[in-house]
Structure 1
Amino acid sequence: MKLNDNVSAVVVGGASGMGEATVRTLRSRGVKVAILDLNEERGASVAAETGASYFRADITNEESVLGAFEQARARNGQERILVATPGGGGLSYTAWRDGESGAIRRHDFQRFGRIVTLNLNGTFLCASIAAQGMMTLPIGTDGDKGVILMTSSVASQDGPAATIAYVAAKAGINGMTLSMARDLAPEAIRVNTLLPGNFETPLLSSVPANYKSGMRDWNLHPKRFGHPDEYATLALQIIENGYLNAALLRLDGGARV
């Protein structure tokens, strides 16, 4: 897909981290960008800095997301690009023994559901709304009506301990990729998923320091956390490369957890 000021994009989670970097990179190519995010202060700030538009969206709430897409389309027109970067989790085992009391505990079921809803359900909701809108468009000169890029994680394949809910949710996104690409292929909509490794994002700040200190060693090279603009650079290459479809692409410095 050729990127210019005739193209509109929606970036879910575009107020920070990899989403923000993607907003900035798309804007550098002239693309009209709508940021959908729950963080109003940060979203408005990024929009003001980049010339994007910000619309508040709670991706766990269908009415909120539908309203945000409607506002974005009223401002920029129907999007041809969706980049969905929402995510969040936390550390908890399936079940474990308390180190002090010896009591056997299990993962809080409500918390498990919230993590799956945020990562998996929220991503599907945004993708399905975007796909429905893209289907109204004519096929572009590049052969696409639109491109959907979802965000999973290398954790979905490597299965680190104490991340069971996050792993389940992100593995669900992997599983959706080929099925969604098959669903939307007759409409000339491509679907791909990026699997980032450990990136310098607000999500990483929630990881305990003693756990985070060893995470860099998971990488082969370079032994550092990824930069959000490295995600954004690859995201644009995926959008522009019209032959790339139904793919899962790791971006992780060769990390294996």
Structure 2
Amino acid sequence: MQIKENSFLVTGGASGLGESVVRAIVAQGGNVVIADLNESAGQALVDELGDNARFVRCDVTSGDEVQAAVDMAEKAFGGLQGSINCAGIAVVQKLLDRDNNPADLESFSRGVNINLVGSFNVARLVAASIAKRVAHDGSDEKNIDQGVIINTASIAAFDGQVGQASYASSKAGVVGLTLPLARELARHGIRVMTIAPGVFATPMMQSIPEKAREQLEAGVPYPKRLGNPNEFAKLVTHIIDNAYLNGEVIRLDGAIRMV
């Protein structure tokens, strides 16, 4: 599928990995609806990028708000050809604290709800939009690439560390969505892929102490640095372009394995 003149919903698109994806798609002539909770950053990005971008405030766990983002894409650009879900949070807490008190269940659930349920919510509404468009315009020919859904997991899905129970399990759930959704949506010509990034230079990473960040960089075999969000965006654009990539999870991590 080409990016030029096609339209994509990018959640978490106002900063970090999502912002890089937005910029890459617009640079290649595509259209983007940025769905994010950060209104000021999202609107500033739209003002910079121009007519190929729109912004909608969106909580990915809300069916109504995600549907509003899909509706905006349909109204502004005539429909969607895919989505890239970069919205997510990191919840850090141990199962038991130093006094053996149990973890906060609400915090655990919030991480799972945003990272996993939010990914499913976006996928179901974007897939419905694409499938209805394809059925309406009669373009549902065999082996024609009609759409692509790209989710964001994490290497924590495979190498979860102490304190990452919510984050690791939610991202493992995103990994688990990939193949069953790809198999189900194959009849509509919609592909489903997941990227599992390692340690990247994003606003989330900037919040940790400098010493901890240096230790993470040292743990990357090669290249020995944090990932650049632009490298994530390059993989996204390749997945969109390469129609034989389907139902798979790609680690993008410089060969790091967390312990």
Does residue 114 of structure 1 match 2:113? no
Counterpart Cα distance in 2 of 1:139 and 1:85: 28
Give the 3-state SS of the residue equivalent to 1:83 in structure 2. Answer: strand
Question: How many pairs were matched up?
Answer: 251
**Amino acid corresponding to residue 49 of structure 2 in structure 1:** T
Offset, 1:67: 1.6
Counterpart Cα distance in 1 of 2:141 and 2:158: 35
**Amino acid corresponding to residue 221 of structure 1 in structure 2:** Y
Query: Who is 2:131 aligned against?
Result: 135
Offset, 1:106: 2.1
Task: Please tell me whether the aligned partners of residues 151 and 194 of structure 1 are also in contact (alpha carbons under 8 angstroms).
Answer: yes
Give the 3-state SS of the residue equivalent to 2:172 in structure 1. Answer: helix
Q: Please say which of residues 68-77 and 81-90 is displaced more in the overlay.
A: 68-77
CA displacement, residues 85-144 of structure 1 (integer Å, 9 cap, x when unaligned): 1111132112232xxxxx212211000000111100111100110000110222489711
**Amino acid corresponding to residue 27 of structure 1 in structure 2:** V
Offset, 1:208: 4.3
Query: Who is 1:49 aligned against?
Result: 48
Counterpart Cα distance in 1 of 2:32 and 2:85: 13
CA displacement, residues 127-175 of structure 1 (integer Å, 9 cap, x when unaligned): 1100001102224897111000000001111111111100010000000
Listed as ranges, the gaps of 5+ residues in structure 2 are none
Offset, 1:209: 4.3
Counterpart Cα distance in 2 of 1:238 and 1:161: 32
Offset, 1:47: 1.1
Give the 3-state SS of the residue equivalent to 1:233 in structure 2. Answer: helix
Listed as ranges, the gaps of 5+ residues in structure 1 are 98-102
Offset, 1:210: 4.7
Task: Please tell me whether the aligned partners of residues 26 and 33 of structure 1 are also in contact (alpha carbons under 8 angstroms).
Answer: yes
Does residue 63 of structure 1 match 2:64? yes
Task: Please tell me whether the aligned partners of residues 142 and 189 of structure 2 are also in contact (alpha carbons under 8 angstroms).
Answer: no
Q: Matched residues, percent identical?
A: 37
Matches within 5 A, 1:74-85: 74-85=75-86
Offset, 1:200: 0.8
Offset, 1:230: 0.3
Task: Please tell me whether the aligned partners of residues 80 and 146 of structure 1 are also in contact (alpha carbons under 8 angstroms).
Answer: yes
**Amino acid corresponding to residue 23 of structure 2 in structure 1:** R
Matches within 5 A, 1:64-103: 64-97=65-98, 103=99
- TM-score, normalization by structure 2: 0.93
Task: Please tell me whether the aligned partners of residues 90 and 207 of structure 1 are also in contact (alpha carbons under 8 angstroms).
Answer: no
Query: Who is 1:100 aligned against?
Result: none
Task: Please tell me whether the aligned partners of residues 90 and 206 of structure 1 are also in contact (alpha carbons under 8 angstroms).
Answer: no
Counterpart Cα distance in 1 of 2:11 and 2:48: 17
- TM-score, normalization by structure 1: 0.93
Task: Please tell me whether the aligned partners of residues 13 and 42 of structure 2 are also in contact (alpha carbons under 8 angstroms).
Answer: yes
Summarize the Cα distance change of 1:198–1:140 in structure 2 as closer, same or farther, 3 Å threshold: farther
Counterpart Cα distance in 1 of 2:188 and 2:11: 22
Query: Who is 2:224 aligned against?
Result: 223
Task: Please tell me whether the aligned partners of residues 15 and 42 of structure 1 are also in contact (alpha carbons under 8 angstroms).
Answer: yes
Counterpart Cα distance in 2 of 1:87 and 1:79: 22
